[in-house]
């Protein structure tokens, strides 16, 4: 991440600034309803206000900020309804993804999924929640790739990004790790057997539980604010 004016040259200044603000919104550094001060960002990052305003437009299009003339920009963050909506769309698409993956998955894809499950099991025994979540993300990305559809892969990755970039929603109690591991093993088993119904049931079960875990964390965070 670029900080204090030290920006990489591979993406535009506007995109770099938008990335910084986006991550601060999603990780809870900017609270819901908090004003994001243009002057403060300009001073911190040592940039002019023009690319900041352009970054605000990008984030407004992503529905992560509200802009009010003469008042400024305010963080939107996540509501409980947002979580529900994200998971509703993600469930529908991931059910379709596993149906396609059952038909198109390769031996190499299955080996990659097995490797992710093995790593997930290793980190579960060590109680390393963030590592388990990293393996979870990689596991799903492999399924998206196995569909052979770049469109469904791009769409699902964008929806998943809203959850995975939100550190507050990503905190998972260690007590859930074995449950998460079992869910992924069930998905892998169904894909190996090329059982479409079982794969859809397994991914649905996993995402139902994932949503409940995210909502539980959301409630805890609201109580702490």
Q: Are 132 and 123 in contact (CB under 8 A)?
A: yes
pLDDT at 27: 73
According to DSSP, the residues that pair with 73 across neighbouring strands are: 36, 67
> Where does 165-195 have alpha helices with state H?
167-170, 177-192
Do 114 and 214 lie in one domain? The reply is yes
Does some domain include residue 4? no
Q: How far apart are CA 105 and CA 148, in angstroms?
A: 8
Spans of the chain below 70 pLDDT = 1-11, 77, 161-172, 219-225
| Domain enclosing residue 19, as ranges | 13-75
Number of structural domains in the chain: 2
Do 90 and 52 lie in one domain? The reply is no
pLDDT at 100: 97
Do 67 and 85 lie in one domain? The reply is no
Q: Are 143 and 110 in contact (CB under 8 A)?
A: no
Q: Domain end: 21, 43, 75, which one?
A: 75
pTM score, two decimals?
A: 0.74
The domain spanning residue 36 has which CATH number? 1.10.10.10
Do 51 and 100 lie in one domain? The reply is no
pLDDT tens column, 67-78: 998 899 999 867
Does some domain include residue 90? yes
pLDDT at 135: 93
pLDDT tens column, 127-150: 998 899 889 989 999 999 999 999
């Amino acid at each position: 991440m670029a900080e204090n004016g030290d920006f990489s040259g591979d993406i535009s200044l506007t995109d770099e600034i938008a990335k910084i603000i986006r991550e601060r919104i999603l990780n809870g550094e900017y609270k819901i309803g908090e004003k994001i001060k243009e002057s403060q960002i300009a001073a911190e990052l040592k940039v002019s206000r023009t690319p900041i305003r352009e970054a605000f437009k990008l984030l407004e299009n992503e529905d992560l900020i509200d802009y009010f003339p003469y008042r400024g920009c305010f963080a939107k963050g996540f509501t409980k309804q947002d979580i529900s909506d994200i998971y509703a769309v993600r469930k529908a698409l991931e059910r379709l993804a596993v149906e396609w993956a059952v038909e198109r998955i390769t031996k190499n894809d299955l080996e990659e999924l097995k490797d992710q499950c093995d790593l997930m099991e290793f980190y579960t025994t060590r109680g390393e929640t963030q590592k388990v979540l990293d393996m979870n993300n990689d596991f799903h990305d492999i399924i998206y790739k196995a569909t052979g559809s770049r469109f469904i892969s791009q769409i699902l990755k964008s929806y998943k990004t809203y959850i995975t970039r939100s550190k507050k929603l990503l905190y998972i109690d260690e007590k859930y790790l074995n449950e998460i591991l079992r869910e992924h093993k069930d998905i892998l088993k169904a894909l190996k057997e090329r059982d479409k119904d079982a794969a859809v049931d397994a991914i649905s079960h996993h995402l139902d539980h994932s949503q409940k875990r995210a909502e539980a964390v959301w409630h805890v965070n609201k109580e702490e604010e």
